[in-house]
Amino acid sequence: MRNLQIEALFGGVLALVVIAVAVYAVANTSISGAGHTAERPIEAVPIETHADLRPLTLASTEDADLVCECYDKAFSLAAATSVLSSDYRTGFEQCRARAGVNGGDAWTAGWEARLHSRPYEASCKAYKRKRS
């Protein structure tokens, strides 16, 4: 008899918790349109960048090798910040946009050369020789 009372007590508490969670979920869900949840508008967040990176001044494609410029910028920036910084992401995206896949690869190679202290890969010329 006593076991039935304990089971009824725990069952009642469990039911109250389930109901409370359901009420909380319904109260915090806003619905708009055809069953889609409303999204908050995306706010512009200023990006803090390293002085060496902003703006990423790459010469025009005709007179400069964008791949080497990306390599060199990443190599110099790697000494000052981490790969998780917005500087790394911004520089990589800019190089990728301006010089294509090769620019992004060069950015990564320059960063890795500095990060892993590889003196034999410390220049864009060495990087290009290694790739070909």
- The per-residue pLDDT for range 100-119, each reduced to its tens digit, is 898 999 999 888 888 887 66
Q: Is the pLDDT at 121 greater than 80, yes or no?
A: no
CB 114, CB 79: distance < 8 Å: yes
In the chain, the largest separation of any two C-alpha atoms, in whole Å, equals 91
- The per-residue pLDDT for range 35-92, each reduced to its tens digit, is 444 455 555 444 444 444 444 444 444 334 888 999 899 988 988 888 888 889 999 9
Which of 131, 127, 100 minimizes the C-alpha distance to 111?
A: 127
pLDDT at 81: 84
* Dihedral sign computed on CA atoms, order 58, 76, 103, 48: negative
The pTM assigned to this predicted structure is 0.51
CA atoms within 13 A on the CB side of 16: 6
